[in-house]
Amino acid sequence: MLDRISVHGARQHNLKNISVDIPRNTFTVITGLSGSGKSSLAFDTIYAEGQRRYVETLSPYARQFLDQMERPEVDSIDGLSPAISIEQKTTTRSPRSTVGTVTEIYDYLRLLFASVGVPHCPLCGAEIARQSPNQILEQVFALHQNERIMVLAPVARGRKGEYKKELEAIAKGGFRARIDGELRTLDEPLKLDKRKNHTIEVVIDRLVVKPGIEQRLENSIQTALKWADGLVLVSVINGPERLYSEKLACPNDGTSIPQLEPRSFSFNSPYGACETCKGVGSTWAFDPLKVICDPSKPLFDGGLGPGGSSSYMISALNEIAEECRIDLNLPFEDLPKKTRNLLVYGNGQFPGILNILEENYSRASEGYRDWLMEYMSPTTCPDCEGKRLKPSSLAVQVKGVSIADFTAMSIARALPLLKSWSFTERELQVVSRVLEEIQNRLQFLCAVGLDYLSLDRSSATLSGGEAQRIRLATQIGSK
């Protein structure tokens, strides 16, 4: 292999028959005035030829999936290796994009936690254990006494496909099915759109939970467990539903969680995302600093922004003012702090300005909502506390650490922690490659000086230089 890259007679774009020798295994900068041909030489000539030659070595089958680059206008290039090009561009502004997702480290973490993670109860913190049919029966009797329920077997949960064989088997067994939330008889063949996600639940039984039906209910539960591979869904008619698992259930309160999958830890999937913030980590709420638009004025005289003309708002404020002897004719800022907090946040009797606005927002038209949004600000999700995932996903731990805790650490802390973890031979057979990928990418982020970042850092908050180095780590850090 030559110790340099020799370019002879480059005429690509605005290059004028350029010949140049570039030393290998060194850091070389091509600099010059705008339009002088820097990109034409680096990207459109050297990189293009290196990529073209590499693709030519692949089989015809592999080449059909890759972009074929044309040979650049150049007499010859010697000493060339397969090339990598990192494009400089602004990072994504999506609130769902993080350092972990951009580098794909988070994808490997999802695999790790789904494979060797230990689920814990999101309520009491106890380690989740398997639940027998008898334990499920006891839970149903304890929670749903004298209620009318359906015993369902979830055979497909939010996955694409036609499910022709499954539907035929359900019909052959003489059962009905609840498909995408709708009860269906299967007397005639049903064709589902294979491009859409579907949830299919076999209706095993409908009954009232009362003494004397224990054997029937136990048989129905066992039938559902067989149909759904260890899962049974108990749905109260016109009421809540509860999923029970023969495999995963809390020994204290009976809380069941679904089988762990990589999507259980994805905040971009409804199966992993926090139900309140939908995986964004923040929600929009009315901002007191915006709602009280001019504290130097009384609330009904320009101090209150939205809702100041609402009859319900006026009535509620006047009622609490009369009860607590509050002078609403005073400028808002002149009221005692305790009184201001009462008016804004409310108490047991008075809902407060913010809660009244939230209620108005939930019933408002789209146009009125857009106007109300001007008085709202993003705030950390109260349910997931900004961690983006469902409680059941946040409660899964690897070596005592949740996926949210791991991604919240700086990379400088996360890397040695990962190296300190030990696994059984059986676990390593499953996750050794995953651990290697995570470690390699974390090490490269440290090598390019980004060890102070955390994997849950939003991409929108990165500087241009940080974003560029992250792209470099993504392209080169994997092995």
DSSP 8-state assignment for residue 429: H
* Residues 77/49, Cβ–Cβ less than 8 Å: yes
How far apart, in whole angstroms, are the C-alpha atoms of residue 273 and residue 265?
8
3 state SS of 44: helix
Q: At how many degrees (to 10) do helices 353-363 and 311-324 cross?
A: 160
What is the third-level CATH fold of 283-380?
Helicase, Ruva Protein; domain 3 (1.10.8)
How far apart, in whole angstroms, are the C-alpha atoms of residue 384 and residue 392?
11
Paired sense of beta strands 241-245 and 282-286, if any: unpaired
One of 3.90.1210.10, 1.20.120.1460, 1.10.150.530, 1.20.1580.10 is the CATH number of 99-116+393-476, namely 1.20.1580.10
Paired sense of beta strands 231-236 and 282-286, if any: unpaired
Tell me which CATH code domain 133-259 carries: 3.30.190.20
Residue type at 155 in one-letter notation: V
pTM greater than 0.75 (yes/no):
no
pLDDT tens-digit profile, the chain (479 residues): 578 999 999 999 889 999 999 998 888 999 888 778 888 898 889 988 988 888 888 888 887 777 777 889 999 999 888 888 776 665 566 788 999 999 999 999 999 999 999 999 888 888 887 778 888 898 898 888 899 999 999 999 888 899 999 999 999 999 999 999 899 988 888 889 988 999 999 999 999 999 999 999 999 999 999 999 888 999 999 888 888 888 777 766 667 788 899 999 999 999 999 999 999 999 888 999 999 999 999 998 888 988 777 888 889 999 999 988 999 999 999 999 999 999 999 888 889 999 999 888 888 888 888 888 889 998 899 899 999 999 999 999 999 999 999 999 999 999 999 999 999 998 999 999 999 999 999 999 999 899 999 999 998 888 878 888 888 777 775 55
Q: What are phi and psi of 173, to 5 degrees?
A: -80, -5
Domain residue extents for the chain: 4-78, 99-116+393-476, 133-259, 283-380
